Amino acid sequence: MARHSRDAADRSVPGFGGPNNRAGSADGQSALRLHAVIAVIAFVLCAFVSGIFFSMGTPVLGVIFAVIALACLGVLGWAVRLHRRAAAARDE
């Protein structure tokens, strides 16, 4: 189990480059927190827009934005999971 956690700390964070782009570094942890915050904001906005489209009677656009909102939840789950695993590996 510990080996699996160390692998998480050695992963690079997508969208973040440089010498300290690993998930276990302080910069990598900061980038993962930023990914999570952006995913939450995107989810809220997409869910709101989806609700507006459903209330206007255009279900196709409502479904499209609902799917995008679900993708945002997936990104949020990925960012939180990698952040926790890398922090746990760093604390070992």
Spatial CA neighbour of 91 closest among 24, 8, 23, 34: 24
CA within 13 Å, CB half, 44: 5
Number of structural domains found in the chain: 1
29-81 pLDDT per residue, tens: 888 888 899 999 999 999 999 999 999 999 999 999 999 999 999 999 998 98
Query: Does residue 5 carry a pLDDT above 60?
Result: no
Domain membership of residue 62 as a residue range: 2-91
Query: Does residue 3 carry a pLDDT above 70?
Result: no
Which residues in 25-38 are b (16+ Cβ under 10 Å) and which e?
beebbebbeebbee
